[in-house]
Amino acid sequence: MIETLVKVEGMMCGMCEAHVNDAVRRAMPVKKVSSSHGKGETVILSEDTPDPEKIREAIDRTGYKVTEISSRPYEKKGLRALFG
């Protein structure tokens, strides 16, 4: 599983978050996507590393601006991750 962090400018409320999430879901297969206007970011969980250009195009079409994209292997948080 891959976790992709996308820095997004312009989100101001929960509806903005929903627009970005929907755009990402339509653009590529994801396990989970969540956005935070307070943090100015979107987190995508997917089986494979997503194409950064697809992410950028999908979000830019909604009127928000992608400033940074980074991917890394996803490490599940919680007790199982702490104690194996």
Residue whose tokens read 């991750």: 81
Q: What is the pLDDT of residue 83?
A: 55
Q: Hey, what domains does the chain have and what are their CATH numbers?
A: 2-83 (3.30.70.100)
Q: Is residue 14 predicted with pLDDT exceeding 70? A: yes
Radius of gyration, alpha carbons of the chain: 13
pLDDT of residue 77: 72
Per-residue pLDDT, 18: 98
Per-residue pLDDT at 38 = 98
How far is Cα 15 from Cα 1, in angstroms, rounded to an integer? 27
